[in-house]
């Protein structure tokens, strides 16, 4: 079932009260691996809390007052970039455009910074749904990652 091309939703800073909600979206071994390369399923209760670090800005995508997606912007100052990571969408909302909307809004958030020349995504597995989401959000496949096997996707700023 295809959803709206541009679902009505906005990003807000992540708060710990939603940790277990986001953890619940890691609903299979495959999703856990796709999101964070995790191999121990079910994931630890504190997995989302452990993703929170000083150099990471975490966000929720809210629609109709409820969280529908989660992702992070990681600072990559040596590359004059931010990286979108740990993107996960509520399983009941997948396929409705919320992942693409989240990526678009995170691009806007990251590209507004003066120290950022590009927004990058590293895709570490063969996930055609994720790749399609990133391409729909205006990103381009540019090659492979340098530090581990995977695809490098980016969108230049300005």
Q: Return the beta strands (E) in 77-145 as ranges.
A: 81-89, 118-123, 140-144
The total number of structural domains in the chain stands at 1
What residues make up the domain containing 38? Answer: 10-116
List Cα–Cα distances, 60 to 3, 53, 70, 78, in angstroms: 19, 16, 5, 26
Residue 1: predicted pLDDT: 41
In a domain, 19, yes or no: yes
In a domain, 40, yes or no: yes
Mean pLDDT for all residues in the chain: 93
In a domain, 29, yes or no: yes
Residue 30: predicted pLDDT: 94
At 36, which CATH number? 3.40.630.30
Nearest to residue 63, comparing CAs of 84, 90, 87, 85? 90
Nearest to residue 80, comparing CAs of 17, 10, 152, 157? 157
Evaluate if residue 65 carries a pLDDT over 60. yes
pTM of the model: 0.93
Read off the pLDDT of residues 1-54 as tens digits, 9 standing for 90 and up.
444 457 899 999 999 999 999 999 999 999 999 999 999 999 999 999 999 999
Read off the pLDDT of residues 137-149 as tens digits, 9 standing for 90 and up.
999 999 888 777 8
CA pair distance 55, 137, nearest whole angstrom: 24
């Amino acid at each position: 079932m295809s959803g709206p091309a541009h679902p009505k939703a906005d990003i807000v800073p992540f708060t710990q009260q939603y940790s277990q909600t986001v953890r619940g979206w890691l609903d299979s071994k495959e999703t856990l691996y796709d999101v964070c390369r995790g191999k121990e399923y079910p994931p630890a209760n504190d997995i989302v809390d452990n993703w929170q670090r000083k150099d990471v800005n975490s966000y929720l995508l809210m629609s109709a007052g409820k969280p529908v997606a989660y992702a992070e912007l990681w600072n990559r100052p040596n590359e004059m970039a931010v990286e979108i990571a740990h993107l996960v969408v509520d399983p009941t909302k997948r396929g409705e455009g919320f992942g693409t909307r989240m990526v678009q809004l995170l691009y806007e958030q990251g590209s507004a910074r003066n120290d950022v020349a590009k927004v990058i995504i590293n895709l570490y597995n063969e996930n055609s749904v994720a790749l399609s989401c990133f391409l729909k959000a205006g990103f381009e496949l540019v090659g492979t990652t340098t530090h581990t096997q995977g695809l490098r996707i980016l969108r230049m700023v300005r």
